[in-house]
Amino acid sequence: MNPLLKFLEKRFAVFALLVFTDAFLCASYYNPSEGSAPAGEYITSPVDRIVLLMQLAIYGITILLIILRFKSVVRPAMKDPFLWALMAMVVTSFIWSDFPDISQKYGFRTLYTTLFGLYLASRYSLKEQLRMVVWALGIAVVFSLLYTLAFPGSGIENGIHAGAWRGPFMQKNGFARLMVVSALAVLLVALNTRRYRYLVWTVFGIAVALLVLSSSKTALVIFLDLVVLLPFYRALRWSNNLAVPFFITLILLGGSTATWFMDNWDNVLLGLGKDSTLSGRTDIWDAVIEKMWERPWLGYGYQAFWQEGGGAELVWLSIRYKISQAHNGLLDLGVQLGFLGMLFFVLSVVFTYIRAIKWASLGKSWEDLWPIIYVTFLPLYNYTESTTVGPNSITWVLFVAISLSLKLLPVVNSEEESESLSKERLVEQL
């Protein structure tokens, strides 16, 4: 391949990942903090149009690249039927949606976002993907820091979350979520690289600092949990004689910890500054589940439930507050695509997790833990936030790319010569 085209293609992938972080929207500059003004819809800005043009350009280039390398794309695309079954529901849900135009528009945007994840999986190895992810997220981290320092009145919450950093994002939780993913990705590269080591560790430190400044206790707890899990996942490389008793012990300790946690639930939450309803989330879940049973199999249509005049009206009436998500990824998917959509998503995550375990057990570097760490992060974060299938979503792109890459035979290059041939053969068979 022409070296210049190869150079430009990698920069395109990094740029696309950066755009999908939504950092460039600078939503906090145009939208007031939660609680500092009457609840309202998202306030659009001229920046939204620029970012939309960027997204459309990314869609077009992605489709062109897929067409040019169609043979190399077919094989990974056929390896995850559950993911594509879910995409089929997303794209066709306008048929039964309460708002067919909205479901159709966002359904196709989500499909294009998924195709970009497929492109990454078919074109780059997991190690190359992680390096590009670190470049994109690293830029987003530094940009968020500089943005907040330049516009503290926008980048720092002044409503009910006064003092919490939200950076260029509309709300602190979305900002914290990006910092968790950024810190984890950068950490894995930092543990495994000598080149630009100090720069990488500096970016990691900034990401952790911004995570703390966001005051998101959920994000901080999940980040710490995943960091603690790193050495345990690395232990998957031990021989079976050592791994089996080790993980039995780990499960017993985990069960004991979970039992203690449940017995002291109220005290733990009080220490985190929350109530036993997780700041009202359980009330939301009850109301959403009640609505789910009215359309259990196919839901209300993709992106349709939370629209004005949609099924969410009774949820808002029940909790006496207007929200735009269920604060639980599976429930959000359930009201949009029903139990069938939930099933396809869960099956895709479970099978990806199984393959991620096999990948980690045969890997030799910290970077090989990226798939299992990310697939662990996704369900953990979706317990109290909605981070599943979404248009122009960095979290969805990363899942698609990881899920499909784990089923590919890795491309061996100068950076990957240390990967064993046994690992390649096993992954090829998955």
Condensed to tens digits (0 to 9), the pLDDT of residues 396-408 reads 999 999 999 985 4
Query: CB count, 10 Å around CB of 244?
Result: 11
pLDDT at residue 41 above 80? no
Which residues, 6+ apart, have CB-to-CB distance to 192 below 8 Å? 365, 366, 367
Q: What is the mean pLDDT of the chain?
A: 85
Segment 373-386 shows an average pLDDT of: 88
Task: Please give the pLDDT value at position 236.
Answer: 78
For residues 319 and 208, give the distance between their C-alpha atoms in angstroms, rounded to a whole number.
34
Q: Which amino acid is residue 114, in one-letter code?
A: T
Segment 234-242 shows an average pLDDT of: 68
- Cα of first residue to Cα of last residue in the chain, in angstroms, is 29
Residue environment code for 101-129, b if the CB has 16+ CB neighbours within 10 A, otherwise e: ebbbebbebbbbbbbbbbbbbbbbbbbbb
Q: What's the pLDDT band for 246 if we cut at 50, 70, 90? A: low
- Helix H or strand E segment including 46: helix 46-68
Instruction: Encode pLDDT of 286-342 as tens digits.
Output: 889 999 999 999 999 999 999 988 888 888 888 877 888 888 889 999 999 999 999
Asked if residue 327 lies in contact with residue 386, where contact means CB atoms within 8 angstroms, the answer is yes
Which residues, 6+ apart, have CB-to-CB distance to 258 below 8 Å? none
Instruction: Encode pLDDT of 353-371 as tens digits.
Output: 989 988 988 888 999 999 9
Percentage of residues of the chain with pLDDT beyond 70: 83
Segment 67-84 shows an average pLDDT of: 90
Tokens of 406: 């784990």
**Three-state DSSP class for 171?**
coil
Task: Please give the pLDDT value at position 256.
Answer: 46
What's the full length of the chain, in residues?
430
For residues 352 and 128, give the distance between their C-alpha atoms in angstroms, rounded to a whole number.
19
Q: What's the pLDDT band for 279 if we cut at 50, 70, 90? A: low
Beta bridge partners of 165: 156
For residues 388 and 73, give the distance between their C-alpha atoms in angstroms, rounded to a whole number.
23
Task: Please give the pLDDT value at position 336.
Answer: 95
Task: Please give the pLDDT value at position 416.
Answer: 43
Phi/psi for 31 (5° steps) reads: -115, 130
Instruction: Encode pLDDT of 76-121 as tens digits.
Output: 888 889 999 999 999 999 999 999 999 999 999 999 999 999 999 9
pLDDT at residue 214 above 50? yes
Q: What's the pLDDT band for 427 if we cut at 50, 70, 90? A: very low
Q: What's the pLDDT band for 257 if we cut at 50, 70, 90? A: low
**Does the CA dihedral 73-78-79-85 come out positive or negative?**
positive
Alpha carbon of residue 287 to chain centroid: 25
For residues 402 and 399, give the distance between their C-alpha atoms in angstroms, rounded to a whole number.
5
pLDDT at residue 282 above 70? yes
Query: CB count, 10 Å around CB of 225?
Result: 12
Tokens of 57: 């350009």
